[in-house]
Amino acid sequence: MSETHAQTVAYVRDTMLPEQPPPASQAGVVRWLRENLFSGPLNTVLTLAGVATIYWLVGHYYGWFARSVWNAGSLAECRQIIAATWGEGLSGACWAVIRDRWHQYLFGFYPPALYWRPVLVFVLLFVALAPVLFSAFPRRMLLFSAIYPVLAIWLLWGGSLWPEVMIVLGVVLGYLALRLLEPRLPGFAIFGAIGVALAFWAWGAGPLADALRALVPVSLTPAASDRFGGFLLAITLGVGGIVMSLPLGIMLALGRQSDMFLVKALSVCFIEFIRGVPLITLLFVASLLLNYFLPPGTQFDIILRVMILVTLFAAAYIAEVVRGGLAALPRGQYEAADSLGLDYWKAQRLIILPQALKISIPGIVSTFIGMFKDTTLVVFVGLFDPLKGISDFVRADFAWKGIYWEPYIFVGVIFFLLNFGMSRYSMYLENRLKRDHR
């Protein structure tokens, strides 16, 4: 202390007191606990109840998880190991079943020698998704994303490459037709383009593919649809359904908002019908009823049938979610678009949909997550979903008969990881697109 700071007037303090530590109840862990867990009688009771529940759960199940066996040839062997290691009469987790059958949970009955194909498809899925999901990636990668579905179909099901090339060629031809017709027949060019593509697929593609096949045979070992199972099936159905249902759902939402009576009526009927019918009913239609309507002997691929139905189902829900986003936009946005002289499609593309879809993101992702989980329902039409279909097979082997929780937990964890990833991405996207100044 220097002289100038000496106390000159007895009752005036002109120096700062050193800072005191906050009282124990207002600092660190204690404060956090007080504020977050014990801030009132109700919260205190809830906290205690929560702790008691966790304690009870851990107390009940910790032992089971702690006594995990990873190396065994059968459930009986697991039990022996548990009895030998931890004592008689105790139960434990027998993860050996996952170790023994993990490939069936992942790939179903896909030929083991060809496992590299689904794995490659899965890896490429991220390459294809990257430019769609994250704007940091070069736009040129979108070209690969466009080709990816066809490439994935070829890699998964195998067979000759040329039919897949024909699909791409049809799209390219349609696009060329669109560019040629657009200046001459504005408004109708899109129908012309679709017509050209369909005509090519109906009459041109078959012979051309055959000719090319004879000329340059490029083909992979075919893998039939009935070999698909487990997560390969769930992810194929899920990704296929998501990719197709989003555009379809947006079209339906726009159709429902449309001023054209027929378009509106059809959209409303479709949406309400699909939403009013349980998914299992639709799956049964896909797997059984269709066989009665189609000519006898027709083999309409079951995975494709189910994928179409799942897509339609998800699209109806997406349509309503997007309609919510459209309805949330202030009327002024529509009027602003009109006053700029934009036509309907340009207004939707540049002004309405970007805002409406941004609002709808949580709903859309929820629908996708729900749809992805619903793919396990395909067990009812004889496909091998990972949750029950594959587990039933595994339990039908006497070595694993009686195993119950382990497969469910394993499948549940994988589903959780995938869905959690989707949900985190949607949060990231919401943050990135945030334009208001909250």
Reference 284, options 292, 276, 295; nearest CA is 292
Q: Does 353 bind other proteins (CB under 8 A)?
A: no
Apex 377 CA angle, 375 and 378, nearest 5: 80
Q: Which range of residues in 13-21, 242-250, 312-320, 386-394 is near other proteins by CB under 8 A? A: 386-394
Reference 308, options 325, 290, 320; nearest CA is 290
Binding mask 241-270 for other proteins (x = CB under 8 A): ------------------------------
Number of residues that bind other proteins (CB under 8 A): 61
Reference 347, options 281, 355, 285; nearest CA is 355
Considering only 384, 406, 410, 415, the residue that binds other proteins (CB under 8 A) is 384
Q: Does 61 bind other proteins (CB under 8 A)?
A: no
To other proteins, the closest distance from the beta carbon of 401 in angstroms equals: 4
Q: Does 205 bind other proteins (CB under 8 A)?
A: yes
Q: Does 104 bind other proteins (CB under 8 A)?
A: yes
d(CA 379, CA 393): 12
Q: Which is nearer to other proteins, 34 or 395 (CB)?
A: 395
3-state secondary structure of 241: helix
Reference 383, options 201, 232, 161; nearest CA is 232
Q: Does 209 bind other proteins (CB under 8 A)?
A: yes
Q: Within 13 Å and on the Cβ side, how many CA atoms surround 271?
A: 25
d(CA 339, CA 333): 10
Phi, psi values for residue 219, rounded to 5°: -155, 160
Hey, which residues does 384 pair with through a beta bridge?
229
Q: Which is nearer to other proteins, 39 or 221 (CB)?
A: 221
Q: Which is nearer to other proteins, 231 or 317 (CB)?
A: 231
Reference 164, options 110, 234, 218, 128; nearest CA is 218
Binding mask 288-307 for other proteins (x = CB under 8 A): x--xx--xxxxxxx-xx---
Q: Does 389 bind other proteins (CB under 8 A)?
A: yes
Contacts of 98 by beta carbon, 8 Å cutoff, 6+ apart: 105, 406, 407, 410
The enclosing H or E element of 412 equals: helix 405-432
Q: Which is nearer to other proteins, 241 or 325 (CB)?
A: 241
Q: Does 379 bind other proteins (CB under 8 A)?
A: yes
Considering only 34, 63, 68, 79, the residue that binds other proteins (CB under 8 A) is 79
To other proteins, the closest distance from the beta carbon of 225 in angstroms equals: 5
To other proteins, the closest distance from the beta carbon of 292 in angstroms equals: 6
Positive/negative CA dihedral, 401, 402, 403, 404 = positive
Q: Does 225 bind other proteins (CB under 8 A)?
A: yes
Binding interface with other proteins (CB under 8 A): 75, 79, 91, 100-101, 103-104, 109, 112, 153, 156-157, 159-160, 163-164, 166-167, 201-203, 205-207, 209-210, 224-227, 287-288, 291-292, 295-301, 303-304, 379-382, 384, 388-389, 391-398, 401-402, 404
